[in-house]
Amino acid sequence: MVAPRWKAALDKALATYPKATVIQLASIDVNTSIPHVRSLIFRSFVSPTDDPSHPLLLATTDVRSPKTAQLIANPHVQVVWWIEGVQEQYRIAGRAHIVPAPKHSLYRQFMHNISQFSEGNLFDWDAKRIEVFKSMSAFMKASWCRPVPGSRLEGGQEEAKKWPVTLEDPKEGDEEGKRLWEMSLRNFALVVIEPQDIDYVELEPIPNRRTRFWRTAGGIWNEEELVP
């Protein structure tokens, strides 16, 4: 099977504008029926089953952030990806799952979910998680050993100034560095999004174009032209 046409378009846009990696992920808090949306950085596509027709989007998060609980209660999400340089918007609906550290209490739940949605249960998700963690900047790595994101800042800015600004792979005998590295890696999680329905708008051509792509149960992508 081949990669869907929307992915080829996205790959082309990203080849020209490689910094256009800011995406917005919308989820629902089922307790309040309130939508939540935040910016994330798209890291890469991953195809755990080596099937190019089934690309998953990879982003990262702190496992302690509210989106973890939201996605477990309701995995339905939509990503919107506006690529200014090519005047294209991709709205990607599907399911999202959090890949926590194996010792995390949610890991079993994740393995259950991921096996359903991507037949990806033979894939070494923790190896992927560690690979992505190591590829992050020292500055980003330090962001996962702060107190719980979104919690009240106890002690104010004076306290915040004590947080490590960067975090490097600890050298032999650096016990404090090792403690921080392990804390950070424990809080670091992947966000895996499985695209199921894509609304692709091109604002550069006149008349503008809009196409819907959706993945059927058999793994085949259908497409239909829509009114922009």
- Facing residues of 95 across strands? 76, 194
Distance CA 91, CA 78 (A): 7
**Of 54 and 64, which has the nearer Cβ to its own copies?**
64
The CB-of-129 to its own copies minimum distance in angstroms stands at 22
Which of 76, 107, 100 lies closest to 191, judged by CA? 100
Residues that bind its own copies (CB under 8 A): 22, 24, 26-28, 30, 32-39, 74, 76-80, 82, 84, 89, 91, 93, 143, 146-153, 156-157, 160-161, 163, 165, 199, 206-210, 224-228
Residue 77 CB burial class (10 angstroms; 0-12, 13-18, ≥19): buried
Tell me the closest approach of the beta carbon of residue 117 to its own copies, in angstroms: 15
Among left, alpha and beta (phi > 0; psi -120 to 50; other), residue 169 is beta
CA distance 105 to 82: 35
Cβ 120 to its own copies shortest distance, Å: 23
CB of 136 to its own copies, least distance (A): 15
